[in-house]
Structure 1
Amino acid sequence: MLTFDCLSLGGGETRSALMHDLVIAGWAGRDEAGIRHHIEELAAIGVPPPSSVPVFYRVAAANLTQADALVVLGPDSSGEVEPVIVSLDDGLWLGLGSDHTDRKAETVGIALSKQLCGKPVGRMLWRLDEVEDHWDSLVMRAHAVIGGERVVYQEGPLSALRTPADLLARRPGGPALPPGWAMFGGTLGAIGGIRPATRFEMELDDPVLGRVMRHAYSIVELPVVA
Structure 2
Amino acid sequence: MLTFTHPNGTFSVDIEHVAIAGWAGRDQAGVQHHIDELKALGVKPPSTTPLFYRVSREMLTQQEHVQMLGDAGSGEVETCLVSDEHGRIWVTIASDHTDRALEAVGVAESKQLCAKPVARTAWPLDEVLAHWDQLQLHSEIEENDATVTYQQGTLAELLPVSALIERLPQALRNGQGLAPQSVLLCGTVPAIGGIRPSGRFQMSLIDPVLQRRIDHRYVIETLEVVA
Instruction: Tell me the residue number matched to 1:107.
Output: 104
Distance 2:83 2:35 in 1: 29
Distance 1:27 1:201 in 2: 22
Report the count of equivalent residues. Answer: 222
Q: 1:90 Cα deviation (Å)?
A: 5.2
Cα RMSD (Å): 1.0
**Is residue 2:125 matched to residue 1:128?**
yes
Instruction: Tell me the residue number matched to 1:118.
Output: 115
TM-score, L = length of structure 1 = 0.96
Q: 1:140 Cα deviation (Å)?
A: 0.6
Structure 1 runs of 4+ aligned residues shifted over 6 Å read: none
Greater mean alpha carbon deviation, residues 144-153 or residues 53-62: 144-153
Report matched runs for 1:16-95 at 5 Å.
16-88=12-84, 89=86, 91-95=88-92
Which segments of 5 or more consecutive residues in structure 1 lack a partner in the other structure? none
Q: Deviations over 1:72-123 (max 9, x none)?
A: 1111000000000000125101010000000001000001011000000001
Q: 1:176 Cα deviation (Å)?
A: 2.9
TM-score, L = length of structure 2 = 0.95
- Matched residue SS, 1:56: strand
Q: Which amino acid aligns with 1:205?
A: I
Distance 1:52 1:70 in 2: 32
Which segments of 5 or more consecutive residues in structure 2 lack a partner in the other structure? none
Distance 1:39 1:13 in 2: 40
2:59 touches 2:115 (CA, 8 Å); kept in 1? Answer: yes
- Matched residue SS, 1:38: helix
